[in-house]
Amino acid sequence: MKITFKSLLAISIMTASLSLHAMENKLIVVTSFPKDLTKEFKSAFEKKNPGLQIEMLKKKTTAGIKYIQETASNNTSDLFWASAPDAFEVLKGDKLLAKYTSSAKGIPEKVGSYPINDPDGYYTGFAAAGYGIMWNTRYLKAKNIPVPAQWEDLTKAVYHNHVGMSAPSRSGTTHLTVEALLQGDGWDKGWAKWKEIAGNFNTVTARSFGVPDGVNSGSFGVGIVIDFFGLSSKGSGFPVDFTYPKTTALVPANIGLLNNAPHPQAAKAFIDFLLSDEGQSILLDKKIRRLPVNPETYAKAPAGFPNPFKDSSIGAAVNFDVILSKSRYNLVNSLFDVMITYRMDDLREATKAIQDAEAANGDSKMITQAKALIAAMPITEAEAADPEFAKIFKKKRKKATDKVTGRQAEVEQQWDTIVKANYAKALELANKSH
Amino acid sequence: MTSKAYKNPGQTLLFILIALFMLSFLVIPVVKVFYVAFIDVNTGNLTLVNFLDFFNTSLFQESFFNSFYVAGMSVIVATIISLPLAYFTTRFEFKGSVIIQSLGFVPLIMPPFVGAVAMQLLFGSNGSVNLLMDEYFGFTIPFMEGLNGVIFVQSIHYFPFILINLSTSLNNIDRSMEESAQNLGSHGMRLFRRIVFPLAMPGYVAGASLVFLKVFDDLGTPLLLNVNNMLAPQAYLRISSIGIDDPMGYVIAVILVVFSLFAMWVASLALKGKDYSTVQKGGGGLAKRKMRFWEKVIAYTIVIIILLAVLSPHLGLTLLSFGSIWSYSVLPDGFTPEHYVSIFEETPEFMVNTLIYASMAATIDIILGTAIAYLVLRSKIRFRHWLDYTAMAALAVPGLVLGIGYLRTFLGMSIPFGDMPLATWWVMLVIALSIRRLPYALRACTSALHQVSRSLEEAAENLGANKTKTIYRIVVPLMSGGILAGFVTSFATAAVELSATIMLVSSESDAPLSYGIYVYMQSAAGRGAGAALGMVAVVIVATGTYFSHRIIEKGRRERSLENNS
Amino acid sequence: MPPLQTHSVGIELKNIDLSYGNTRVIKDVSLSIKQGEFFAFLGPSGCGKSTLLRLIAGFEHCQKGQVFLGDEEVSALPPWKRQVGMVFQNYALWPHMTIYKNVAFGLEERKLPKNEINQRVKDVLELVGLQDYAERRPNQLSGGQQQRVALARTLVIEPKVLLLDEPLSNLDATLRVHMRQELLELQRKLSLTTIFVTHDQEEANTTADRIAVLKDGIVQQIGAPMELYDHPDNLFVAQFLGSANVIQGTLSKQSNYTLFDDGKGMQISLQSSDIEGSKSIVLRPQNLALCEAESNTADLQGQVKIREFLGNIVRYEIQVGRQQLIVDEMYSFDNVPAETGSTVGLTINNDKIIIM
């Protein structure tokens, strides 16, 4: 029964694609967005275009890219619809995206300091999102923990073991947050701050949704999340709240047309729809809660809804350098994993010891030394910026003659040795200091 | 030299067909994935340097150790759970046996990762149990922290493998084995240690090695509990990272498979020549005796505690599926049926797809299982045992590896009569599921065929039926109990499979339940709906398991009737 | 020097009653077995003979009655404290242990010193002729060898009594005869009180000093084999031990003899007795003889229906009136057997007719 149904469908698609002018009756979208978001757009667009059916192919951003790369030789998908601009950069770099510029009006060039659309026209921003801090109100109240406001707050001892975050290598948007702080505070100070915050981590989740999930259920109290996770959790009724710290990057969430898309007409119409007034308004839905890129849509927003086009404090502190971010993308992720994700226990233990030493008014020289050890980086910013070195982390050999020296596993192991020794020494010093 | 013995061309053809199937859908895809592990990224030549890197990297050493530790500890904890349950059901006339037999198997049919979500809510650092303990006793127990959490969830999920095998083994020990030891002066724990346990050992080893393998390869649970320092998550994280072409993920995949095969080989060595099934015709298992009152009290207490722990994921899932908001509290804030309403309105296709895929996969499994069992046990084809080995090796291949292998192998090909790539056709999902579950069905079919006496076939041939007729009219009907059991096992486990599914699903309308649960669970508002979908999966699979039990029991009763007459 | 000591004792069962749920399996059984006696429980399957044996070993518990080993009442003792040796029907050798380990098990349970265990295992394996098989596993031995191991394993603990549960039933015919002789020899050598459970009357007859015939949980008769054969207490015993022609009819007293009439045309004159009325008579096949049909010594006339050549004897089934009688004749090569279908006369050895 299934077979006949499917083959009938296939036949009807084929006949439909034969009739020229008509829009295709099918659209396949690879997306990392949750069902709560996709289903609203799907039903609204399908209502507008009777007979058209959208397939939402839900993949994690990383898996989505992998999927598109693996299937490129015989592409069946039309659109890639996800948050992180750098994910689109990867696809663009692999020549898997097609140019399309929507005719939609009223969309400014930048949100915060980030350009909304790809300057080359390969992908289009449809909503803005920024990283911030989300917390569980019941949790904080029960444990008598103050509500955090800035990234610095999360370095305080009171938050020890109460913070969650996902690894930047797992989630493109998390990467942006890490990179934003590195760009805002500088390489060494930025990493030092990240490690101070990470010392308070309860967990580093593998899925980016693991963070809001953990805060929602109360596994940990505070999460570093992208705004819509916080806003939509609140909208769904969880006892949680969200705020933007000063140093945050507002970045657009994007949609891009894939090369050789089987249904280009429908795909382009969908992009236009996203940017239309109707599409932008859907973003305000209480289970979605993303920042529209059309400033006029904010007129319909509920009270207290952040408006980056009015409130210039949101996302303005960092002048985000996309080129720099892209050049060291994998390297930063790998560093984060080596220093934080995979050495979580060592880091947490050393941080706890330092916090205890500080509370006990231990030898301040030794404490400073211990802190310096934790902050110490296995490589300098200059080294990280060396394109030859960064290549080790992106070895897609284009031709068989391409040669790269050094292997990622080799480099990571060197870093790990340094980091592990430093953490152990910091722990020892902190314990000795009081 | 020509042999005059009758050669059966049908068997040879069958052998070739099955071998081709296994080659295309298991061997080649896996080899395609493995190949990357042996490529030097700098030069493109074949190399072993990646494996050198693996063993030189402390993170991987640690991950390897952790995986090993977690798998080993899970076996131990699962044993601790299974031993008393198996002991009570096989040694006593114990009313609780029925509860144990029906509820003891339920954990297996929990979709992976869903159990972990529910367990977090109940046993997490701020889960119901710890909130209560903190309030009344002022301390908490870190059930779910780090590796402990993985061990806890895994042993609760997989202990039925040990329970089933151990119980069967114990039931197959003839009562005279025990009585002769008593007669010679042995009793109590000594008798158990020296006679009963060694005789039940083969069954135990079979179950324990399965638990070890499953835990060693499992991805979902550590991933959901945010434990990254294990082999399977490391492989997954590295393979699925953006834009990185680091071969380490594939190296880990190879190591996972090789090590699993090694573990299977060790287990089979340990089992060699130890078919201790000593039960005589008509004689049933160990002597069962009635429990004294205080024994009953102790037994029920232990059983209830264990079952509470074991069924806690289901309890948690039920609460979650009916709960409105559940955050940092012992119970959800309120209860509502709306999650169920929304899944039946929004996504009935998940359920329909699951039923179609799982039943198709299970059908393929029993056909292959019966055919392979027949070829192995009844034909004289030279390499017939390799079919068995290959099919069983599927047990050692993580779903993720198979999924990636399919994408690599079949993407270039188009489906018949269409221009869609083969890899993203839903039929491939069915085939992947059937390959993943073939080992279960094959074992069930093999043991069923073992019980069919050869003379029954010879009688049919003697009366003029050819091989095909004999198989169709004698062998298959006699195997039917085992075949059905194999069908249901394959069906039940295929229905909750995620790891291969998530790589291969190419459109939502083609997606099965487990994928739907995963998707729902990725949004704040979808948690309840995901749990509701999870409950639907549990109910579907539980119904299937229940019927398989009925069928197996019926078969057993019929057989024992024959023996008694 | 005999390798084994025995502390053999007698066995006494008093008023044993045993039920499984509502089914009464053993009904008020009492019997006593003398020290050193070779005793057999004989009966069809389901008669309760194995249950009785298992009761003595301690694996079954009776609702009523007592079990004595020598002077000691053991009814409440668990199996492992009874010092009763039992050989199971399937031998119950543990497949995961070597022969040596199997045999040593009971001694190890008794915590004997290692060198003593060693010596005794060696001795007992020698006794059963398996000294070279110590390191083998049970599944590497033949049925007869397994049987000997089972016996050795039991004897090595120097049991007070030896219980054999159908020990020969898993062996082929030749081996069965050989093993039963071996068993008997060993029993005599050790003078060990032995109970042998069997459904095969030949086995019981050839080995046992005395036999208890059981049916439906009731002891039908106890006695030496020949005694049971010649003087069965009831039809069941008569038919179960050896072949028998049982004919129902009426006895009536005549002047100097007693006449048996089956009411269907068969009349036999018996030695004079006081017994009268509706009775059965039992004729053993060897107490009937063929003669010429017209011979005046013929007591009966009939037609040969079936003739079976059994080696030493020829067995006939003769149709007499409406009865079929079995007749055994010794066979020798100069003696021409009667043809199937022919009419023959039958002479009856009147002295050997058993009246029930």
Region of B146 please: left (phi>0), alpha (psi -120 to 50) or beta.
left
- Element (H or E) spanning B20, and its range? helix B9-22
CA A234/CA A134 separation, integer angstroms: 10
Q: In this complex, which of A66, A76, A213 lies closest to B240 when CB atoms are compared? A: A66
CATH number at residue B368: 1.10.3720.10
Burial class (CB in 10 A: 0-12, 13-18, 19+), C271: exposed
The pLDDT tens digits of the residues spanning C193-215 come to 999 999 999 899 999 999 999 99
CA B30/CA B47 separation, integer angstroms: 18
Which is more confident, B70 or B382?
B70
- Domain identity same for A124 and A7: yes
Three-state SS letters, chain C: CCCCCCCCCCEEEEEEEEEECCEEEEEEEEEEECCCCEEEEECCCCCCHHHHHHHHHCCCCCCEEEEEECCEECCCCCHHHCCEEEECCCCCCCCCCCHHHHHHHHHHHCCCCHHHHHHHHHHHHHHCCCHHHCCCCHHHCCHHHHHHHHHHHHHCCCCCEEEEECCCCCCCHHHHHHHHHHHHHHHHHHCCEEEEEECCHHHHHHHCCEEEEEECCEEEEEECHHHHHHCCCCHHHHHHCCCCEEEEEEEEECCCEEEEECCCCCEEEEECCCCCEEEEEEECHHHEEEECCCCCCCCEEEEEEEEEECCCEEEEEEEECCEEEEEEEECCCCCCCCCCCCEEEEEECHHHCEEC
A 10 A CB-CB count for A144 gives 7
CATH number at residue C100: 3.40.50.300
Q: CB B226 to CB A170 under 8 A?
A: no
pLDDT at B112: 64
The pLDDT tens digits of the residues spanning B450-504 come to 877 777 777 777 777 777 888 888 888 888 878 887 888 888 888 888 777 877 7
The pLDDT tens digits of the residues spanning C129-146 come to 899 999 998 888 988 899
Residue A340 sits at the chain B interface (C-beta within 8 Å): no
- Element (H or E) spanning A250, and its range? strand A250-258
CA A129/CA A229 separation, integer angstroms: 10
A 10 A CB-CB count for B157 gives 27
Q: How confident is the model at residue A21 (pLDDT cuts 50, 70, 90)?
A: very low
pLDDT at B3: 47
Of B259, B291, B326, the position where a domain reaches its end is B326
Q: Give pTM, 2 decimals.
A: 0.79
pLDDT at B555: 66
Residues in B closer than 8 angstroms to A287, CB to CB, are: 523-525
Q: How many residues does chain A have?
A: 434
Q: How far apart are the first and last CA of chain B?
A: 49
What percent of chain B lies above the pLDDT cut of 70?
A: 89
Q: Structure tokens of A382?
A: 């200059």
Which is more confident, C255 or B356?
B356
The pLDDT tens digits of the residues spanning A51-95 come to 888 988 877 777 788 778 877 877 888 999 988 777 888 888 889
pLDDT at residue A26 is higher than 80:
yes
pLDDT at B350: 85
Instruction: Tell me the residue range of the domain where A383 lies.
Output: 328-434
CA B117/CA B124 separation, integer angstroms: 9
Q: What is the mean pLDDT of residues B508-529?
A: 82
C-alpha pair distances (Å), C201 with each of A20, C180, C224, C234, C246: 98, 13, 12, 16, 18
On average, the pLDDT of chain A sits at: 83
pLDDT at residue A313 is higher than 80:
no
Q: How many residues does chain B have?
A: 565
The whole-angstrom distance between B88's CA and the closest CA on chain C is 20
A 10 A CB-CB count for A415 gives 18
CATH number at residue C281: 2.40.50.140
Name residues whose C-beta falls within 8 Å of residue B73's C-beta, 6 or more positions apart in sequence: B147, B151, B155
Of C193, C208, C233, the position where a domain reaches its end is C233
**Nearest Cα residue to C130 out of C107, C148, C104, C103:** C148
pLDDT at C35: 93
Locus of tokens 């729809």: A273
Taking only Cα atoms into account, the Rg of chain B, rounded to an integer number of angstroms, comes to 25
Nearest Cα residue in chain C from B188:
C80
Of B287, B306, B326, the position where a domain reaches its end is B326
Q: How confident is the model at residue C1 (pLDDT cuts 50, 70, 90)?
A: very low
Query: Per DSSP, what are the bridge partners of residue A130?
Result: A250
Residue B120 sits at the chain A interface (C-beta within 8 Å): yes
Number of separate domains in chain C: 2
Any chains having at least 3 CB pairs less than 8 A from chain C are B
pLDDT at B174: 81
Which is more confident, B422 or A368?
A368
Q: Structure tokens of C116?
A: 């003593």
Q: What is the mean pLDDT of residues C147-175?
A: 89
Nearest Cα residue in chain B from A43:
B346
pLDDT at B367: 93
Residue B130 lies in a domain: no
Residue A411 sits at the chain B interface (C-beta within 8 Å): no
Taking only Cα atoms into account, the Rg of chain A, rounded to an integer number of angstroms, comes to 23
Residue B126 lies in a domain: no
Residues in B closer than 8 angstroms to C21, CB to CB, are: none
> Which of B417-426, B501-510, C304-313 comes out lowest in average pLDDT?
B417-426
- Domain identity same for B14 and B70: no
Residues in B closer than 8 angstroms to A169, CB to CB, are: 237, 241-242
- Domain identity same for B428 and B312: no
Q: In this complex, which of B242, B246, B503 lies closest to A408 when CB atoms are compared? A: B246
pLDDT at residue A403 is higher than 60:
no
Any chains having at least 3 CB pairs less than 8 A from chain A are B
pLDDT at residue A300 is higher than 60:
yes
Q: What is the mean pLDDT of residues A208-216?
A: 89
pLDDT at A14: 43
Q: CB B177 to CB C94 under 8 A?
A: yes
pLDDT at B276: 62
pLDDT at residue B123 is higher than 50:
yes
List B residues 132-161 in contact with A (Cβ-Cβ < 8 A). Answer: 146
The pLDDT tens digits of the residues spanning B207-229 come to 898 899 889 988 878 887 888 88
| Residue pair B175/B283 in contact by the 8 Å Cβ criterion | yes
Residues in C closer than 8 angstroms to B274, CB to CB, are: 95-96
Of C210, C233, C256, the position where a domain reaches its end is C233
Residue C5 lies in a domain: no
The whole-angstrom distance between C152's CA and the closest CA on chain B is 12
Q: Structure tokens of C114?
A: 């290692």
pLDDT at residue B352 is higher than 60:
yes
CA angle B25, B29, B32 (to 5 degrees): 160
What percent of chain A lies above the pLDDT cut of 70?
A: 90
Residue C239 lies in a domain: no
Q: In this complex, which of B185, B190, B195 lies closest to C94 when CB atoms are compared? A: B195
Residue C317 lies in a domain: yes
Instruction: Give the long-range contacts of residues C228-232, CB within 8 A, separation 24 or more.
Output: C229/C205, C230/C354, C231/C354, C232/C282, C232/C354, C232/C356
DSSP B412: T
Residue B558 sits at the chain A interface (C-beta within 8 Å): no
pLDDT at residue A9 is higher than 80:
no
pLDDT at residue B443 is higher than 70:
yes
- Domain identity same for C211 and C166: yes
**Nearest Cα residue to A206 out of A337, A52, A69, A11:** A337
On average, the pLDDT of chain B sits at: 82
CA B403/CA B435 separation, integer angstroms: 11
pLDDT at A18: 40
The whole-angstrom distance between B205's CA and the closest CA on chain C is 14
Residues in C closer than 8 angstroms to B182, CB to CB, are: 58-59, 78-80
- Domain identity same for A370 and A282: no
Number of separate domains in chain A: 2
On average, the pLDDT of chain C sits at: 88
pLDDT at A153: 93
> Which of B121-135, B278-292, C119-133 comes out lowest in average pLDDT?
B278-292
- Domain identity same for A266 and A123: yes
Q: CB C109 to CB B177 under 8 A?
A: no
pLDDT at A2: 41
- Domain identity same for C218 and C266: no
List B residues 270-309 in contact with C (Cβ-Cβ < 8 A). Answer: 274, 276, 278, 280, 287
> Which of A226-230, A239-243, A262-266, B409-413 comes out lowest in average pLDDT?
B409-413
- Domain identity same for A348 and A405: yes
| Residue pair A121/A100 in contact by the 8 Å Cβ criterion | yes
Mutate to test the interface with C, among B93, B172, B173, B184 (most CBs of C within 10 A): B184
pLDDT at B420: 63
Q: In this complex, which of B180, B185, B276 lies closest to C96 when CB atoms are compared? A: B276
pLDDT at A7: 46
Q: How confident is the model at residue A281 (pLDDT cuts 50, 70, 90)?
A: very high
Residues in A closer than 8 angstroms to B414, CB to CB, are: 74
B with A: touching (≥3 Cβ pairs within 8 Å): yes
Residue C6 lies in a domain: no
pLDDT at A75: 84
CA angle A398, A399, A404 (to 5 degrees): 80
B with C: touching (≥3 Cβ pairs within 8 Å): yes
Residue A395 sits at the chain B interface (C-beta within 8 Å): yes
- Domain identity same for C19 and C162: yes
pLDDT at residue B184 is higher than 80:
yes
- Domain identity same for B345 and B288: no
Q: CB C110 to CB B185 under 8 A?
A: yes
Residues in B closer than 8 angstroms to C97, CB to CB, are: 198
CA B429/CA B511 separation, integer angstroms: 9
Nearest Cα residue in chain A from B127:
A219
Which is more confident, C245 or A316?
C245
The pLDDT tens digits of the residues spanning B2-22 come to 444 556 778 889 999 999 999
Residue B203 lies in a domain: yes
Instruction: Tell me the residue range of the domain where B32 lies.
Output: 9-47+337-565
CA A257/CA A246 separation, integer angstroms: 34
Region of A106 please: left (phi>0), alpha (psi -120 to 50) or beta.
left
Residue B186 sits at the chain C interface (C-beta within 8 Å): yes
Q: In this complex, which of A136, A229, A416 lies closest to B58 when CB atoms are compared? A: A416
pLDDT at B7: 61
Residue C238 lies in a domain: no
pLDDT at B469: 80
Q: In this complex, which of B176, B184, B287 lies closest to C109 when CB atoms are compared? A: B184
Q: What is the mean pLDDT of residues B183-212?
A: 86
CA B384/CA B317 separation, integer angstroms: 45
Q: CB B44 to CB A405 under 8 A?
A: no
| Residue pair C213/C205 in contact by the 8 Å Cβ criterion | no
- Domain identity same for C287 and C222: no
Q: CB A236 to CB B327 under 8 A?
A: no
